[in-house]
Structures are given as structure tokens and as C-alpha cells.
Amino acid sequence: MFQPEAPLVERRQVARDLFVLAFAAPEVAAAALPGQFVNLLLRPGPLLRRPFSVHRATEGRVEILLRAVGAGTAGLLALRPGDCVSLLGPLGAGFRLDAAWGSIALLSGGLGVAPFPLAAQAARAAGLEVTWVHGARTAADLCSEWEGDRVVWATDDGSRGFAGSAVDAVPEVGAILACGPNPMLAAVARRWPEAQVAVETYMGCGTGVCLGCAVPKAAGGYDRACSEGPVYRAGDIDWPALPDHLHYRLTA
Ligand SMILES: Cc1cc2nc3c(=O)[nH]c(=O)nc-3n(C[C@H](O)[C@H](O)[C@H](O)COP(=O)(O)OP(=O)(O)OC[C@H]3O[C@@H](n4cnc5c(N)ncnc54)[C@H](O)[C@@H]3O)c2cc1C
Ligand code: FES
């Protein structure tokens, strides 16, 4: 779906440098599934669209979660209510949910929390018990909003919740969905190869044409994160071959 003029309707701060932006986009909101993303274009702004996970999609609004890392994200954070972006989406293949799992953990590091409010709502609607496991470097970096049946916080410096990696704070559950820095996701893959992980790559077109979003597969060859992904079975990715340039997902 393509909405050339999606107005900003809300902006709120949820951690030290993390903000939620909500755009009025009723058709995209109605169609969005957990783990999918939208591709936003700012005018004036960078030439290429910028991809963002759908954070929430309710009441005709599409929310994204972001931190300023460059011109595109800084431009988005400078928008005022009523300013518009061009919005393309929902794109990509999202998380799979199965009521037979009984319970699920949504495991995130830093900005990796972005796809999980929508996933939590869908999982609960599917009858799953949801544990929200969210980690960051320090308490001020934790996203203050969460959804699910219970929450587990983790901080590298021990300032809130479990002291250490959020990966080590995951309770016994039927299935795990994870999103965060690639080293964290690689650790998830080693421990739980059946987990589903949302990965990030550079993206050009976001629609399967440019091959700029290649994800190396454990079985050989490459996938397109924008089309076959961004969600994968953790054990299916060749983690050492996936570049860790995605520093904006880091817990800092
Ligand atoms: C499927 C997907 C979902 C995403 N979801 C979110 C989200 O929910 N919230 C969020 O804040 N960000 C998300 N991102 C990342 C976001 O798209 C980039 O932060 C954004 O494009 C940066 O644009 P910029 O103009 O601000 O920065 P730029 O000036 O383009 O770049 C700033 C720095 O970030 C690096 N960078 C920029 N884009 C990418 C990229 N796609 N992959 C790797 N490195 C990059 C550059 O190398 C540079 O060092 C997602 C990316 C993908 C592919
Ligand atoms: S971003 Fe162009 S093919 Fe995926």
C-alpha cells in the first residue's frame, strides 16, 4: 500500500534517546502484521526511503520507534504534528505465531524492541502467554512501554532488573521471537536455533528489486531481507557472514 501523505499525529519519548512517532495511515495500519516494516520518505530529505518496523498499528495509526542516527532519522524526529511523510507498506514477511506453543518470549535489545508491541498484541489474541524480555545498557536506555502478561528487564550495568544480557534472562517458554544487535541474535541462534529473529541489513528499494539487503543463509546463498525476511528462523542464517554494521540497534 502506498500513502503519499501520511501526517504525524503523535510523538512521545520512551527512553533516553528513543521516540515513538505515530502517523495516520488507516489502510496500512489495518493490514500490518507483526515483524513487517514500513518504508518512509521525507520531503525534503534523503533520496532513499528509510525502513522502520511497525511498532504498533491501531486506530488507523502506524507507530514507529526510532533514535536519531543520521539525516533520515533526524529529519523524522524534527517533524511537527501535521507534517507528512510518504509511507509505503506494510512490507516483508513477519513473525509466525502458533497457539500450540502456549507461551512465548519477546526478546529485545535496545531499539530491537521496535516490532514487539504489535507482536505482543497478536500473540495474546492468538491465546499465547507473553513474556516481554527487554534489555539495554542501562536503566535510562530501557524502553518504558511494554505489552504482554509479564515483563523481565535486563541491563548490562545492573541498574534495573537482571544484571547482564537479556538473552540470559529468558524464562522457559514455548517459543522465542528476538530482535536486536546481530551479536545478540547470533547468541540466540546458538542457544535456540528454532527462535524467530528479525534481522536488519542495508536496504535500497525495500521491495525486492535492488538486492541490496542480502542475508547470507546457513545452507548457502542469499535471501532478500525486504522480501523473504526480515524475520528468519535463527538457525537458518550464516551469522559470521552477516555484517555487524547495524550499530543503531546496539543497546546504547
Ligand atoms: C527491516 C528494517 C527495520 C528497521 N526498523 C527500524 C526501527 O524500527 N527503528 C529504527 O530506528 N531503525 C530501524 N531500522 C534502521 C533504519 O532504517 C535506519 O536507522 C535508517 O535507515 C537510518 O537512516 P538515516 O538517514 O537516519 O541514517 P544514515 O545517514 O543513512 O546512516 C546513519 C548510520 O547508520 C547506518 N545505516 C543506515 N541505514 C542502515 C541500514 N538499513 N542498515 C544498516 N546500517 C544502516 C549507516 O551506515 C550510517 O553509519 C530498520 C532497518 C531495517 C532494514
Ligand atoms: S532492499 Fe532492494 S531487494 Fe531488498
- Ligand 1, atom 44, lies closest to the CA of 246
Give how many domains the chain has, as a whole number: 2
**244 shares its domain with 189:** yes
pLDDT in tens, 137-150: 999 999 999 999 99
pLDDT in tens, 214-237: 999 999 999 999 999 999 999 999
| Domain limit, last residue, from 91, 120, 146 | 91
Question: 39 CB less than 6 Å from ligand 1?
Answer: no
**145 shares its domain with 85:** no
The CATH number for 153's domain is 3.40.50.80
**124 shares its domain with 193:** yes
| CB-based contact 43:52 (threshold 8 Å) | no
pLDDT in tens, 100-133: 999 999 999 999 999 999 999 999 999 999 999 9
Q: Which residues pair with 84 in a beta bridge?
A: 7
Task: Find the mean pLDDT for residues 90-109.
Answer: 98
**239 shares its domain with 208:** yes
**192 shares its domain with 122:** yes
The yes-or-no verdict on residue 159 having pLDDT over 70 is yes
Question: 91 CB less than 6 Å from ligand 1?
Answer: no
| Domain limit, last residue, from 59, 91, 123 | 91
**106 shares its domain with 32:** no
**77 shares its domain with 110:** no
3-class SS at 219? coil
The amino acid present at 27, given as its one-letter code, is E
Q: Report CA dihedral (95, 96, 102, 103) to the nearest 10 degrees.
A: -10
Q: Exposed/middle/buried for 117, CB within 10 Å: 0-12, 13-18, 19+?
A: buried
**82 shares its domain with 150:** no
**86 shares its domain with 103:** no
Expressed as residue numbers, the domain containing 23 is 2-91
Q: Which residues line ligand 2 (CB under 6 A)?
A: 203-206, 208-213, 224, 226
Segment among 96-110, 203-217, 232-246 with least mean pLDDT? 232-246
- Ligand 1 pocket test, pick from 50, 54, 95, 251 with the greatest ligand atom count within 8 Å of Cβ, gives 50
| Domain limit, last residue, from 57, 91, 125 | 91
Per-position DSSP letters for 12-81, written without gaps between them: EEEETTEEEEEEE-HHHHHH--TT-EEEEE-SSS-SS-EEEE--EEETTEEEEEE---SHHHHHHHT--T
What integer pLDDT is reported at residue 202 of this predicted model?
87
